Structure 1
Amino acid sequence: MITWRAAALVGAGTALLAIVGAVAGSAIGAAWLWGAAGLLVLAVGAACVVDFLGAASPKLLKLSRSGDQALWLGETGRVTLLLHNRSDRVLAARVRDSWVPSAGASPTMHDVRIEPGRAVAVTSTLTPTRRGDRPAVRVMVRSFGPFGLTYRQTSKTTADRLTPPWRLRVYPRFNSRRLLPEKLARLRVLDGSVVTRGRGQGTEFDALREYVVGDDVRSIDWRGSARRSDVMVRTWRPERDRRLVCVLDTGRTSAARIGDEPRLDAAMDAALLLASVAARADDRVDLLAVDTAVRASVTNVEKRTLLFRLVSTMAPLEPSLVETDFGLVAGEVLRRERKRALVVLFTALEPGALGEGLLPVLPQLAARHKVIVAAVHDPELARMARVGPDATPADVYTAAAAQHALAERDRVAAALRHHGVEVVDAPADEFASRLTDHYLALKHSGRL
């Protein structure tokens, strides 16, 4: 292929001949000018052929990659592309390293000069704007000749063959990680506290101690008191090795944007904080992502690898524009969890989805497990429901629609509580904290 330099040479030569013809006038014939122009074109053409033959073949390149393979959303990483020149000519080339747009690659164009048998590395900085797998698409190489008049470029087929595969996995944003020290401090206080009201569901025996004024007499251990010749009471602590199942609804309601992120991403953030605290409390954490099929599953994972497995599994999940099959959700939970567990369902308090799908199967699920419906709501809806003194008719209709939506959400929450389900409904910036606090409160009261 010919570069702009060849056209510039022909244009400059033609302009020079035109000036010479204008100055010399009839002293130089038109035939001479046309002949000179023809010779100029032939000379440039011959130079282009020589230049093309002198360009190193990009097909002889060997490409490899190294660098980051995983990042948290919002972080910046680097991936290095190594180009090894296996030809016997100097390679002067422009390399285009293409990624999907959401990978945030910069720069994508690199000018390199590689001696025969040598290698050069070029680095791209990646700042992903979406979680999931962000692949490298294609490396195109344009090899220029010694004069820069022509170039050789890899075809699409050749470029696909030469391009080394690379996939950057972007983990979901974990903004609530900043709350983890506070929640773990509360958990340590909870583990050290004493429940003196007697054994409850979700507690286990801790120790015997002497009775003090204010202790519940129902906690007295009469056999222990007889052996010790003193009044002894039993103390209880929150039971360990409980089972927590986080169920992510990946149906159509999870695609709604709450602020600047989808509802599914807010649910992931809250699930990561909840799972991190539950794992520190020695509870077993499982994960399910379901809409009309099971999209992801994490079960029986050790505590030390739990967070990695969760973020790796969540990263490629995307909302599906289908109605979630809550019958499938209940069936999967009942099939997988034989013992009583705390089931946290991350979904939306929407009458159509929950009223027709979840409520019919809820009694069966709630009879076997403790169920929490965790929903993140948009604070914009509450703002729209307020009407100012200078409101227009359009504002009044908007407020009426918003108030109707809020009333429907409250009605669904009341119906869920009627079936023994606990509801955590909070704005996105408080959602993860409130849900984890609710878990700690349940654990403290022995209601897991």
Structure 2
Amino acid sequence: MTWRAGALLAAGAATLPLWPAPFVAMVVMTVAVLALAAVDRALAAPPGELAVDRHGDRRVRLGGTATVTLRLTNASARTLRAQVRDDWVPSAGARPDLPPGRLVRVEPGGTVELPTRLTPLRRGDRPAAVVTVRSFGPLRLAFRQRSGRPATPPWTLRVLPRFDSRRHLPERLARLRVIQGSQVARGRGEGTEFDTLREYLVGDDVRSIDWRASARRADVLVRTWRPERDRRLVCVLDTGRTSAVRMGDEPRLDTCIDAALLLTALAARAGDRVDLIAADAVVRATVTGAGRPALLARLVDAVAPLQPALGETDFGLIAGEVLRRERRRSLLVLFTALEPGALGEGLLPVLPRLAARHRVVVAATHDPVLTTLTTAAPTRPGDPYAAAVAWRALAERGRVRAALGRHGVTVVDATADGLAPAVADAYLRLKALGQL
């Protein structure tokens, strides 16, 4: 029953002093109100005869707004007067257009649409939780209610990464065009793809002399090379426990995803094949470079539901997957953390196998708070101890970088805001030097 039944009973109770037998009067009033409530409930439209479905957006970028509409069709012979509540998980940021408590009226055979605006707070899949329909009688003294799976059509909104690093793409594409020679200032690197022949100049490497062409022209000619095209790039996302560490306002995994998207967009424009592997103790997602026009969209959709796992990363598994999938020499970009424990026990033992076949780049983010602690003037008794801990952490990161460098690994260590452009610059530098 609703509050109206209680109010009706309270109004009748106010007349009890006028009755010769107040107890009997109270019993009669209670029975009458209960009978009216039972009749009112029987006259309410049965929620079980409602057809409920949804339509609307399936994907939205983090920070954007999507609209998902709930459609109710009254298949009963009675008019529906109902309160409808469409619940989503809290991180979906649901805001229904219909104010809470407002009644929805649907005639027999009629349909009503109730839109809900969603502004998600986190990346990933955000499912609809439950739909609750509370159907009232004509007097609104009682209601019928239905909720749960029968009344809740399944719907999942996939929240895609924000891709803030897109703003760095035009500048990097301009540099890529210079490297590829599509502008007047054509860059020539020490690549392996033949470009042109030209006359020998003092200082040229004698190993680049083309003796056959020189014999035909009766002049000394040298070969020039251009950076490689149509190369292979493998992005590996470490989704283990270190990816859950927050760098500013977001986890390290989100920062690495943003950097991987910028690198993928740049490499796809360069005509390179891009593969992606996300793994920790198991492989979470894989994307191959087939179908390059839709590569970035497929990669964004694949990494959207990734979440950090609270376990150690199995770098042996990652190395096995890379070596099994990539037979040709590739540029391997590993997005992880420069933590001595994780890399020393996991990555360094398998690194020689990877470096022997592929060109390896380790991309990691560091917390700028460490640098701040080492440079700030102490103002509290505990500040020198915090600075000592920061110096020790930075020294350990330096030892890890040196260990990786001994295996020929390029290390990109930047802040969360600078990781994406730093990785893109490293890719362009390797491409210009012909070291992919």
TM-score by length of 2: 0.93
Change beyond 3 A, Cα 1:187–1:129: same
Alignment check: 8 A CA contact 1:220 1:231 kept: yes
1:291 aligns with 2:291: no
| Cα separation, 1, equivalents of 2:25 and 2:203 | 113
Indicate yes or no: 2:114 matched with 1:122: yes
- Does residue 1:98 correspond to 2:92, yes or no? no
2:389 matches 1:401:
yes
2:123 pairs with 1:131 = yes
Q: 1:171 aligns with which of 157, 160, 180?
A: 160
Gaps of 5+ in 1: 22-27
- Structure 2 residue matching 1:149: 3-state secondary structure: coil
**Aligned residue number for residue 149 of structure 1:** 141
Which range is displaced more, 422-431 or 223-232? 223-232
| Contact kept in structure 1, 2:52 and 2:152, CA below 8 Å | yes
Flag the 1:196–1:121 CA change in 2: closer, same or farther, 3 A. closer
Aligned residue pairs: how many? Answer: 429
> Is residue 187 from structure 1 mapped to residue 179 from structure 2 by the alignment?
no
Q: 1:196 to 1:34 in 2, by over 3 A?
A: closer
Aligned partner of 1:25 in structure 2 is: none
Q: CA deviation at 1:37?
A: 3.3
Q: Does 1:434 align with 2:422?
A: yes
The alpha-carbon deviation at position 213 of structure 1 amounts to 6.4
TM-superposed CA distance for 1:314, in Å, is 0.6
Per the TM alignment, residue 45 of structure 1 is displaced from its structure 2 partner at its CA by 2.1
Contact 1:196-1:215 within 8 A present in 2 as well: no
Compute the RMSD of aligned alpha carbons. 2.0
CA distance in 1, matches of 2:377, 2:177: 47
Q: Per-residue displacement from partner, 1:268-322 (whole Å, max 9, x unpaired)? A: 0000000110111111100111111111111242211111111111111111111
8 Å contact kept, 1:69–1:167: yes
1:44 has 2:36 as partner: no
Matching residue of 2:411 = 423
Query: What amino acid is aligned across from residue 82 of structure 2 in structure 1?
Result: A
The correspondence of residues 35-434 of structure 1 with structure 2, limited to 5 A, is: 35-107=24-96, 109=100, 111-154=103-146, 156=147, 159-192=148-181, 194=186, 199-200=190-191, 203-208=192-197, 210-211=198-199, 216=204, 218=206, 219=208, 221-224=210-213, 227=216, 233-389=222-378, 391-434=379-422
What whole-Å deviation, never above 9, does each CA across 1:30-72 have from its counterpart, x for those lacking one?
41x4444333323322221221111000000001111100111
Amino acid at match of 1:139: V
Cα distance in 1 for residues equivalent to 2:19 and 2:359: 102
TM-score, length of structure 1 as denominator length: 0.91
Report which stretch shifted further, 437-446 or 298-307. 298-307
| Counterpart Cα distance in 2 of 1:180 and 1:286 | 19
Range 232-241 or range 295-304, more displaced: 232-241
Q: Is the 8 A contact 2:338 2:400 kept in 1?
A: yes
User: Residues of 2 paired with 1:136 and 1:241: CA distance?
Assistant: 43
- 1:138 is paired with a residue of what secondary structure? strand
Indicate the percent of aligned positions where both proteins have the same amino acid: 61
Separation in structure 2 between the aligned mates of residue 300 and residue 322 of structure 1, nearest angstrom: 29
How far, CA to CA, are the matches of 1:249 and 1:279 in structure 2?
22
Residues 231 and 269 (structure 1 numbering): CA distance in 2 closer, same or farther, change over 3 Å?
Answer: same
Cα deviation 1:306-351 (Å, max 9, x = unaligned): 1111111111111111111111111211111111111011100000
What is the one-letter code of the residue matched to 1:116? P
Q: CA deviation at 1:191?
A: 0.8
Give the corresponding residue for 1:24.
none
Q: Please tell me whether the aligned partners of residues 60 and 85 of structure 1 are also in contact (alpha carbons under 8 angstroms).
A: yes
Structure 2 unaligned residues grouped into runs of 5+: none
- Mapped to 1, the partners of 2:201 and 2:350 lie a distance apart of 48
Once the two structures are TM-superposed, the CA of residue 229 in structure 1 deviates from its matched residue by 7.0
- Give the SS at the match of 2:103: strand
Q: Which amino acid aligns with 1:303?
A: R
